[in-house]
Chain A
Amino acid sequence: MQKWKATLLTWGTGFITATLLAWLVAAQFTNGITPFHYDPELDEYVLFPGVTASTRSEGWAETSIGAHGFLRIEEEKAFSDHPKIILWGDSHVEGHQVDDVDKTSSVYNALATGADPFCISKGRSGLSVADYYFKMDKVQQLLPNVVGHAILISGLKDTLPGRQNPSHAEFRHSPMRLVPGNFTPTDFSLQYATIAHYLKLRPFYDAGKKLLSAELRFLPGHVGGPPPSVPITRNSAAPAYAYEDAWNYLLKRLKENADGYIFFIYCPYTPRLKEGIVDTDTAPNALLERFEAVCRANGVGLIDMTQPFAALYERERAFPRGFFNSPPGVGHFNKEGHRLIGQAILDYVQGRNQ
């Protein structure tokens, strides 16, 4: 009995020590949990002010969150009376993969002169153009002197009906309409995410989530059975609308809500590696040309980043996406990508103001 007690004590102590050591190591090398909180002025859930979002799985960076979920580095600029443009986007604008000074809006602000408006970043993972429509009003009420809106898109899909992410705003057709989303973190997340953030418990959270959501199979298997039924996706049906009608509707609604001018920044997934060949994809894009025509007709600007991205590769054999720990050309923008986009936005804004 004594021997069993000693064994249990040794192994129990070992387990606790190992857990603490593993926690220390994992805390450095895994992504952090970033809690949300409800912001009554913006009427939405934003990243908790004061926290630092750590990214390790793609890139290696820290993002400091300020008041109302804006970047802390931009807080002062955001609430000043200086003219400003709002940079809207999803995780590509959120840019947690690069440090704050390397994000698109920071690059722009570092290069801008006193006459140029500030650029304030308002990106969050999962958002689409439909979301920006609903958020514009509140941001314009909160931040003084908004003179324009820049909308970054990685493709044209979220400018079209039926392509948005669940629990976010939607763009629907028949009839064309924009429907607000209801993104709400779970009660569990709202209650515990903050403490989990400060205690760096993300690895345990992910492990627990994997365990609880595991779908176990115990029945004998059968290789080569019938393929699983393909779920009807948002994209599977042929569109029941004309693209131009959808874009006209969307742009008109955006212009109704926006103070100042609007322009899009189109950032395609190029160049990319396809089985050993680097595809810079600089061939004419018929769909983009159609979108550009609609933008022009509605007085909305468009920056196409295809050529600058391709030129980066031609010049330096570098990609605007990809990090030391992720494949080149895949995923989110790296420092070079953010730099090119920040420069392009500044060129556009300065060109407008001349």
Chain B
Amino acid sequence: MTFSSLEFILFFFLVLIGLLALKHRPTWKKALLLVASYYFYAYWDWRFLSLIWISTLVDFLVGARLGQSSDPKVRRALLGTSLAVNLGLLGFFKYFNFFIDSFRPMVESVGLHPASLDIILPVGISFYTFQTLSYTIDIYRGELEPSDSLLDFALFVGFFPQLVAGPIVRASHFLPQLKKDHPLTGDNFFSGFQLFTFGLFKKVFLADRLAMFSDNVFLNAGAYDSPTTWLAATAYALQIYFDFSGYSDMAIGIARIMGYDLGTNFNFPYLSRSPREFWSRWHISLSSWIRDYLYIPLGGSWRGPVRTYVNVLLSMTLCGLWHGAAWTFVAWGALHGFALVKNRLWMQFGPQGKSDAVRWMGWTATMLLVVTGWVLFRASGFEQAWLMLRQMFLPEPGIQWLHPFVFLVLGGTAAVHLLELSGRLRSLLLPEIPRRYTPTLLFFLLWMTVFFAPESFNPFIYFQF
């Protein structure tokens, strides 16, 4: 079920009633949350609960054994087991058909005839496998003690607010929270409800309505003129931001209502003035995971500049592949990888100005990169991406359709970002203690969401990852 559905609202209401009823019984509360989380996942498909259980049990046992063993060979073997199981599950369900179809001509040339399988991609597998891997890797590195409670660990893996589309929560951040009781408080309820409301508004009112325009232009790539194509690319950049950050806000808000902290996943990425800054603000839980568990183990920036650039490129290319089993995602990741390399070179050898003009140029160049990258990300294939990019940069005549809603959202987004730059956004729109107008604002956003929800259902973009 999705956070914007009636079923979820009823489900969450029942969970809260249950938590209230189990007020002074923290273990029972955790058990309730675990059962609720498994039900939440089973609502999509109960069969794939088995994969979560496999991941949970394997990594709990691996973690426990890692805590008991100091033999490097044994520890490596245990880590290898965790990696094999989790990446094996991910690889099979997400990438089997991709690699078969991509390399079929090569494979067939040596006389083999592999068949594609009818594989369903389990929702959330990219997220929870990364989450459990962070647990075993941190234990292996000696940075984390293994959990002594299967209940706690299972809840860390399957916690329903972040189970299907993140944020990717670190064990070191979440497991300690499970050691303490979390009574429901008015402050947490307000804070969580506030965040949830903004998230719902972003997803249903903004993202889903922007999709009605951008989907049509992408589907008919090449037919629309240059301004329309640029507008659609911009609309998609806004759509994916509102969709994903909206979902994250809802997930974080729901967790906060129950007293848990899932961290921050987005920090106004469209204020970034460099690719490096962009990746410190966009999907923070993923970019920090890539940094800590891929980039740094590859050597990070400690093996000389050339190796550093290779590590950056490889990490970002794999980051692209994580997003989806398609070469356009790989290309998108590689594009950002090249941009980050260029960013490093610029920081080392380029002129370093701090004037407003330089800051604006940096912002413009970064947004150009990001919007162009989103075209690759969104396109159904390279042909569609090429048609879009050609109309953006080498235009031919086409049909014009400049949807005013996109301009309205662009204006509103710019205003909110300027408020953030001025440092006043959080106190005005996300205060810790409600201001006089806060209830009016929140209920107004909810009404707008209800009144203007599109007729058809639009799943969260990141559900497909």
Contact = CB atoms under 8 A, between A and B. Distances in A.
A318 to B, nearest CB: 8
A203 B44 CA distance: 31
Name the residue in A7, A15, A18, A26 with the highest tally of chain B Cβ atoms < 10 Å from its Cβ.
A18
A223 B223 contact: no
Nearest to B47: A222
Interface string B206-236: 0000000000100111110000000000000
Given A273-B220, A317-B397, A324 B402 contact: yes
Nearest to A274: B220
Interface residues of A, number: 40
Name the residue in B10, B446, B450 with the highest tally of chain A Cβ atoms < 10 Å from its Cβ.
B450
Given A14-B442, A328-B399, A276 B451 contact: no
Given A17-B440, A220-B42, A224-B120, A275 B220 contact: yes
Main secondary structure of the interface of B (DSSP, over half): helix
A238 interface: no
Contact of B404 (A19, A276, A325): A325
Contact of B439 (A15, A203, A216, A275): A15
A317 B399 CA distance: 6
A15 B404 contact: no
Name the residue in B47, B401, B442, B451 with the highest tally of chain A Cβ atoms < 10 Å from its Cβ.
B451
Nearest to A204: B451
B435 to A, nearest CB: 10
B151 interface: no
Contacts of A29: 452
Contacts of A232: none
B452 to A, nearest CB: 8
Interface string A134-167: 0000000000000000000000000000000000
Contacts of A207: 450-451
B46 A324 contact: no
A79 interface: no
Interface in A298-354: 317, 319, 322, 324-325, 327-328
Interface string A271-288: 001011110000000000
Contact of A14 (B47, B186, B440): B440
Contacts of B46: 220-222
Given A30-B451, A218-B7, A273-B223, A14 B42 contact: no
Interface string B393-410: 000011111111100000
Nearest to B222: A276
Contacts of A222: 45-47
A321 B399 CA distance: 13
A203 B446 CA distance: 13
Interface in A1-56: 7, 10-11, 13-15, 17-19, 21-22, 25-26, 29-30
A10 B401 CA distance: 44
Interface string A93-136: 00000000000000000000000000000000000000000000
B349 interface: no
A11 B11 CA distance: 24
Given A10-B434, A14-B442, A221 B44 contact: yes
A214 interface: yes
A1 to B, nearest CB: 14
Contacts, number: 106
A224 B120 CA distance: 8
A217 interface: yes
B447 interface: yes
B451 A216 contact: no
B223 A22 contact: no
Nearest to B121: A223
A8 B186 CA distance: 12
B444 A276 contact: no
Interface string B311-332: 0000000000000000000000
Contacts of B220: 273, 275-276
Nearest to A19: B447
A220 B43 contact: yes
A276 B387 contact: yes
A224 B46 CA distance: 12
Nearest to B218: A276
Contacts of B306: none
B440 A328 contact: no
A304 to B, nearest CB: 24
B443 A14 contact: yes
A213 to B, nearest CB: 11
Contacts of B399: 273, 278, 317, 319, 328
Contact of A21 (B10, B434, B442, B444): B444
Contacts of B6: 211, 214, 216
B17 interface: no
A223 B44 contact: yes
Nearest to A18: B443
8 contacts: A13-B440, A15-B443, A18-B444, A19-B443, A206-B451, A220-B43, A224-B118, A317-B400
Interface of B: 6-7, 10, 39, 42-47, 118, 120, 186, 216, 219-223, 387, 397-405, 434, 436-444, 446-448, 450-452
Interface of A: 7, 10-11, 13-15, 17-19, 21-22, 25-26, 29-30, 203, 206-207, 211, 214, 216-218, 220-224, 273, 275-278, 317, 319, 322, 324-325, 327-328
